[in-house]
């Protein structure tokens, strides 16, 4: 699991210039962002940033004889290995022919399709096509990179993270749980709600809803 922060200290300053962080140094702010990133991952039920994974899962053989794989973490960035395992049998699938991938990652990067006509397995069992596997209980071992690269992380996920960071700072500055404080003719309105979630958290969850697994 990756521990990389979803946003940087600089990005937080750009997205939330109204938050006074003058009394905090960069490592402290980065620590708060790390805490917020963890909360966002908990809400989503996965870490959104890309990581390299090896997972065992079930595959689907379509009526056309194609193998379809639905990786648990998306979007799929790349695939480095696909093995079909049944008992002591381990079949390694050829991923390229002439330097070109023989599998397809769909437009939304949510599934991998290995076409029937491209099947080429190497191992201690002869399999000429995926139809031969339809009546067997087998496991797919998939090595791939899944999740959002930093450069393609949806802005909405970043916005939600900013809101969680603001909520954490809000709690630190308003430990008494007041709804507003007036001092020197200036009134500060806080987002915290006693006995429930703050408006920051509610809005963050609303923004993240389309990405929840």
SS3 165: helix
pLDDT at 209 over 90: yes
- pLDDT higher at 179 or 50: 50
Give CA separation, 61 vs 9, 58, 122, 161, in Å.
46, 10, 19, 39
**Least trusted range by pLDDT, from 22-26, 85-89, 116-120:** 116-120
Q: For 174-185, how does the pLDDT look when each residue is reduced to its tens digit (9 = 90+)?
A: 654 545 544 444
Q: In terms of pLDDT, which residue wins out, 188 or 68?
A: 68
Distance CA 33, CA 6 (A): 8
Enumerate helices (H) and strands (E) in the chain, giving the number of each.
4, 13
CB 21 within 8 A of CB 27: no
Per-residue pLDDT, averaged over 60-82, amounts to: 92
């Amino acid at each position: 699991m990756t521990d990389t922060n979803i946003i940087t200290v600089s990005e937080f300053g750009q997205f939330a210039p109204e938050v006074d962080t003058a009394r905090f140094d960069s490592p402290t702010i980065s620590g708060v962002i790390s805490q917020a990133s963890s909360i966002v991952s908990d809400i989503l039920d996965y870490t959104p940033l890309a990581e390299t994974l090896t997972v065992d899962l079930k595959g689907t053989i379509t009526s056309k004889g194609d193998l379809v794989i639905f990786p648990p973490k998306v979007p799929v960035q790349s695939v480095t290995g696909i093995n079909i395992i049944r008992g002591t049998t381990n079949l390694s699938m050829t991923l390229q022919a002439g330097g070109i991938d023989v599998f397809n990652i769909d437009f939304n990067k949510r599934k991998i399709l290995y076409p029937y006509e491209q099947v080429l397995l190497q191992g201690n069992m002869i399999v000429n096509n995926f139809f031969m596997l339809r009546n067997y209980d087998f496991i797919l071992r998939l090595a791939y990179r899944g999740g959002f690269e930093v450069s393609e992380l949806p802005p909405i996920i970043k916005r939600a993270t900013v809101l969680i960071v603001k909520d954490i700072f809000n709690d630190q500055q308003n430990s008494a749980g007041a709804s507003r404080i007036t001092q020197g003719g200036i009134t500060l309105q806080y987002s915290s709600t006693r006995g429930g979630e703050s408006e920051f958290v509610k809005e963050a969850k609303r923004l993240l809803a389309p990405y929840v697994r």
